[in-house]
Structure 1
Amino acid sequence: MGNSEGQGGASAKGRKQASNAASGGASSSSSKRPSPEEIEAKRRERAEKKAREERERQEAQRQRQLQLEADGGAGAAVLSPDGRQLFEPRKWSAVAGAHGEGVEHKQRIKVLSWNILAQGLVRRKLFPGSDCLRWKDREEGLSAEMLSLPWDVGCFQEVDRIEDHGPKLKESGRAYLYAKGYARKQHGLMVAWNISSWRTTRFKEQPAGSKLVFLDDETVDKEAKRTGLSRVTRNIGLFAALSLDEEGSDEQRGIIVATTHLFWHPMHAYERVRQSGLLKRALLQWRQSNEAWRKWPVVLAGDFNDQPHSATHALMTASDISAHCRDEVQRSTVVHTSVDERRANLAVKDLGKLDIAGEAAAPKKGGEAGEEEKEEEGDGEEEEEEGEGEDENAEGSDQMLKNCRAAKEQDGLLSFDELVELHSASSASSAYGQHFGSLQEDQAGNYFGSKERGKERYDDTEWKEGQPNIHLGPSKEPMWTLFSSIFSLTLDYIFLFPLQSPSPSSSDRDGAPTVTALLPTHKTAVLQPGIPRRGVCASDHIAIGAELSLS
């Protein structure tokens, strides 16, 4: 019994000690709990730390971008978050002798031009073997290259998916104009420019002016009746007058930038010569129409769908006109059935409007899988517009072009002499044609006229390995600006116009901006077996660029 009481007493004592310990622990824990003031202080500390880290991140990003611009490269932007190479990087290369004392302190503007390959035009039959056709495979590389290549003004062709490109451009500190021209077209042109305050060269957010040119409707006479149109193309030109955002300047400075995408069909040389002449005339007239930008330099950049030995290039640059130039224009001075159909229904119902600063139409609704399948296969309308798959030699080189008839006097097509006269408003210089051969980074073997240049078409049965370049000669335009697995061509140019308008026979280029650097194009070894290709380029065209020094 005594033992029982002892055990009970011990048990009670233990319980009391445990209770006291628990009570003391609770009291101790309660005394260590932070007060509301301390909690608020911790919150402020965390918020300040987060804000500080964000400022440091933004500053690091700014410094990286400034360093990239200084180096002319893309740096870490080449890699995806998981370490994959998104595109093949390039650096700007200075033009030898262009950095004299008079140029060193002048305003410099980097102008980029790139046909980014509209997703709506992608078809597997045009890009056999490509691993970069679906939008989910193209978007990341396309955006990375577009946004990380250092440029101040960008001219882009075959732009669709503006609802994807637009927000990214704005986020990168750029404004833009986008225009399709015709409501039924799936893709259009875009001019973008830097507006961010931390960039070395920046422009005002709103353009000083803009203009959209409908090339099918441009007339060649003062009576505004004769268009000289040989084929309906729905091609357009987009002009933008951009004011530099600079303080303490007595005179508003800026640049007029224009971009275009001329008719694609290789056999329709006449129409491209007509289009380029009308575009040149409209651009120079537009410059003269406003006193505010009458003395600004003019740049025309884009995809001209003609090679350096063509009549288009010769007339744009007032170069010698070869027998080949005359012959290709003469053979294509015909009338396509689309012109006759247009005359039968003169009402133009699908003209679009210029889309200012990214107010793009919402994308069509629909399942992504079905949408992507449609994009890969394309549709009849766009294939007629851009379809390199059409067999231009279906009737043979000596016969009438497909769906065309001989031109009659009442059709009003221009003679070759009239086309020359149309181009006589002014001659331009090609940034690459004039300066690609003078870069500090040697480009030997990477010219249109280089002996190393191989075949242009996959189905060229007459070409043999080691055969000399059929365009062997002095041309210093890039060897390639388009390099798919079935076509390899030079189609893209940056043309510069003088402030005055010398005659086509004049060599005077006074007043044109000085070219101080170019963006070298990829060499053949990088591009083989063709683009678009992951890790190299998400388009079939290569971006080109020229750094200009303004007066």
Structure 2
Amino acid sequence: MSRPYQPTAEDIAKAEQRRIKREQAKKIETPAVEDDKSQILPREWLDVSPHLASSEGHTIRVMTWNLLAQSLVRRELFPTSDCLKASQREHMLYNEILSHNAAICCLQEVDRTEKLFPVLEKANYAWVYAAGPRKKHGCLIAYRKDAFSCIRQKVITYDDQEIREDGDEQARRGSSFRTKNIGNLVALRKLGPGNDGVIVATTHLFWHPAYAYERARQAGILLREVTRFRSEGSGPEALWPSIIAGDFNFPPDDPAYSLLTGEALLPAQKARLEASRVVHATIDPTIAAGGAAQAEEEEEGAESGENDPDKIIVNARAAQPSDGLLTDTELEGLFRQSGTPTSAYDAGQKAVPGISGSGLTYGSRGTIPSDRRGSFEPSYTSYTHYWKSVLDYIFVLDAPGRDVSVVRLAKPHSKEAFGDGLPRKGVCGSDHISLAADLHWPPLQ
């Protein structure tokens, strides 16, 4: 019988060295896996008026982003994406939100709140969340607990808002489609001495590209209600600037963008509005009664095919005067009664030397005259295999005697960074690209 093996001191030393190497390898591998899950494309910043950051008043960073609700994800809509599962996207989403280190975050298509809320709480944010009737996702405004307190909040349901005083209930609303979209409004008082603060609104307007009128109606209502909300506050709140950020679902050459920013409507824009002045089955149940309920439940990008309803209008009739839809002149009046917002990116990038030839502006795509507002918006804020557009904005409505200035902007990515389309691992967890801006306004006198 052979003698049992007895390891030498040298054998024991080698075994110990191998054990230590294995332990070290485990320590290195674990963080690498986590980092890979949350990796996103790094963001540079553009200086617009950096000297204002140290001047008297307030400089606040605001970001906005559509997260792409998990409840809306469909493989057929994102055939080139490599990260459509919630477990693949969520760490990228959290990293993107927190990477901006914003004092105020406006988020749309927010679902899986049981996962997101603890992340915000750990990062020292409080929030106000709201969703439309029976919507599986909503709009959220998060703000730094050590910077602001929320003193008022309001939810605007566009379907219920009236835009004229005459006619029956339907005519007073003047709506073409019951969409369940909302605007989420808050009044944030800045902590510390004084009574300064800011009004913040975020929204996700109706998605259907063919319904230009309904989107313009919703944008006009939002602007009106933000102005009202500010005026309803006590004393100094009437002098607080207003930030209106979100997914507006219209590009800079859309009639709603021109109405919002004070540009005259072009003939092509008027034609788009006229073609979309219809009444859908969700408003008039006598139209295609069998499909009305289904149409009301449609979600963004939920349909596809040769009769794709995101390209054509179905289950609708031409509007009649008794339906109360606003004319072009009446739409212009709705917007102008509330002031004219400025886009932080359009105004900010316009002030950056050499930006025009960089390919980072919407005007570089040749779809809008260079002298029109909107020409200096980012080239893209949504980029997928099937659609590539600008849909997201940070608008600012100055307070009386207190103009808001852009200090810095999160630099838009070049389209080459997006590959065949978002979401994409290591790049972005959503089909939208986040926007962020440092905004400055003078102190309250």
For Structure 1 versus Structure 2, the TM-score category normalised by the shorter chain is: 0.7 to 0.9
Matched, 1:435 2:328: no
In the alignment, is the contact (CA less than 8 A) between 1:481 and 1:492 conserved in 2?
Answer: yes
- The answer for the alignment partner of 1:203 in structure 2 is 148
Q: 2:176 aligns with which of 207, 221, 230?
A: 230
* Pairwise CA distance, 1:435: 1.2
- The answer for the alignment partner of 2:17 in structure 1 is none
Distance in 1, matches of 2:65 and 2:114, equals 18
* Aligned residue type for 1:439: V
Distance in 2, matches of 1:237 and 1:512, equals 24
Q: How does 1:506-521 map to 2 (within 5 A)?
A: 511-521=402-412
Q: Given the superposition, is the C-alpha separation of residues 82 and 439 from structure 1 closer, same or farther in structure 2, using an over 3 Å criterion? A: same
Higher RCO (C-alpha 8 Å, min separation 6): 2
* Pairwise CA distance, 1:383: 6.9
Bigger shift: residues 323-332 or 380-389: 380-389
Q: Given the superposition, is the C-alpha separation of residues 100 and 237 from structure 1 closer, same or farther in structure 2, using an over 3 Å criterion? A: closer
Q: How does 1:234-249 map to 2 (within 5 A)?
A: 234-246=180-192, 249=193
* Pairwise CA distance, 1:286: 1.0
Distance in 1, matches of 2:370 and 2:36, equals 42
Any gaps of 5 or more consecutive residues in structure 1?
Answer: 1-77, 197-201, 346-379, 454-468, 501-509
TM-score normalised according to structure 2 size:
0.84
* Pairwise CA distance, 1:381: 7.7
Matched, 1:188 2:138: yes
Q: What secondary structure is seen at the aligned counterpart in 2 of 1:175?
A: strand
Bigger shift: residues 254-263 or 388-397: 388-397
* Runs of 4+ in structure 1 over 6 Å off: 380-383
Q: What secondary structure is seen at the aligned counterpart in 2 of 1:99?
A: helix
* Pairwise CA distance, 1:440: 6.9
- The answer for the alignment partner of 1:140 in structure 2 is 91
Q: 2:265 aligns with which of 314, 321, 340?
A: 321
Q: What secondary structure is seen at the aligned counterpart in 1 of 2:135?
A: coil
- The answer for the alignment partner of 1:412 in structure 2 is 324
* Aligned residue type for 1:87: I
Q: What secondary structure is seen at the aligned counterpart in 2 of 1:338?
A: coil
* Pairwise CA distance, 1:382: 8.9
Q: How does 1:3-18 map to 2 (within 5 A)?
A: none
- The answer for the alignment partner of 2:387 in structure 1 is 487
* Aligned residue type for 1:414: L
Q: 2:246 aligns with which of 284, 290, 302?
A: 302
* Aligned residue type for 1:135: A
Distance in 2, matches of 1:538 and 1:83, equals 12
- The answer for the alignment partner of 1:86 in structure 2 is 39
Q: 1:264 aligns with which of 196, 207, 211?
A: 207
Q: What secondary structure is seen at the aligned counterpart in 1 of 2:282?
A: helix
Q: Given the superposition, is the C-alpha separation of residues 520 and 273 from structure 1 closer, same or farther in structure 2, using an over 3 Å criterion? A: same
Q: Given the superposition, is the C-alpha separation of residues 537 and 383 from structure 1 closer, same or farther in structure 2, using an over 3 Å criterion? A: farther
Size of the aligned set, in residue pairs, is 399
Q: How does 1:91-240 map to 2 (within 5 A)?
A: 91-95=44-48, 97=49, 99-100=51-52, 104-182=55-133, 184-196=134-146, 202-204=147-149, 207-222=150-165, 225=169, 226-240=172-186
Q: What secondary structure is seen at the aligned counterpart in 2 of 1:281?
A: helix
Larger strand proportion of the pair: 2
In the alignment, is the contact (CA less than 8 A) between 1:79 and 1:85 conserved in 2?
Answer: no
Distance in 2, matches of 1:124 and 1:434, equals 37
- The answer for the alignment partner of 1:542 in structure 2 is 433
Q: 2:230 aligns with which of 287, 295, 311?
A: 287
In the alignment, is the contact (CA less than 8 A) between 1:121 and 1:383 conserved in 2?
Answer: no
Q: 1:423 aligns with which of 335, 342, 346?
A: 335
Q: What secondary structure is seen at the aligned counterpart in 2 of 1:123?
A: coil
- The answer for the alignment partner of 2:362 in structure 1 is 448
* Pairwise CA distance, 1:148: 2.2
In the alignment, is the contact (CA less than 8 A) between 2:303 and 2:310 conserved in 1?
Answer: no
In the alignment, is the contact (CA less than 8 A) between 1:392 and 1:401 conserved in 2?
Answer: no
Distance in 2, matches of 1:156 and 1:422, equals 26
Distance in 1, matches of 2:360 and 2:130, equals 34
Distance in 2, matches of 1:167 and 1:383, equals 30
* Pairwise CA distance, 1:86: 1.1
* Aligned residue type for 2:58: Q
* Aligned residue type for 1:145: E
Matched, 1:526 2:426: no
In the alignment, is the contact (CA less than 8 A) between 1:233 and 1:385 conserved in 2?
Answer: no
* Pairwise CA distance, 1:438: 2.4
Distance in 1, matches of 2:284 and 2:322, equals 12
- The answer for the alignment partner of 2:4 in structure 1 is none
* Pairwise CA distance, 1:409: 2.0
In the alignment, is the contact (CA less than 8 A) between 2:38 and 2:91 conserved in 1?
Answer: no
Any gaps of 5 or more consecutive residues in structure 2?
Answer: 1-30
* Pairwise CA distance, 1:129: 1.8
- The answer for the alignment partner of 1:387 in structure 2 is 301
* Aligned residue type for 1:430: S
Distance in 1, matches of 2:342 and 2:318, equals 34
In the alignment, is the contact (CA less than 8 A) between 1:496 and 1:512 conserved in 2?
Answer: no
Distance in 2, matches of 1:100 and 1:339, equals 49
- The answer for the alignment partner of 1:341 in structure 2 is 285
Distance in 2, matches of 1:88 and 1:482, equals 15
Distance in 1, matches of 2:46 and 2:111, equals 31
Q: How does 1:364-383 map to 2 (within 5 A)?
A: none
In the alignment, is the contact (CA less than 8 A) between 1:93 and 1:440 conserved in 2?
Answer: no
Distance in 2, matches of 1:290 and 1:395, equals 42
Q: Please identify the structure whose Cα radius of gyration is greater.
A: 1
For each residue in 1:425-451, what CA deviation from the matched residue of structure 2 results, as whole angstroms up to 9, or x when unmatched?
21111111111132379572111011x
* Aligned residue type for 2:135: K
* Pairwise CA distance, 1:337: 0.8
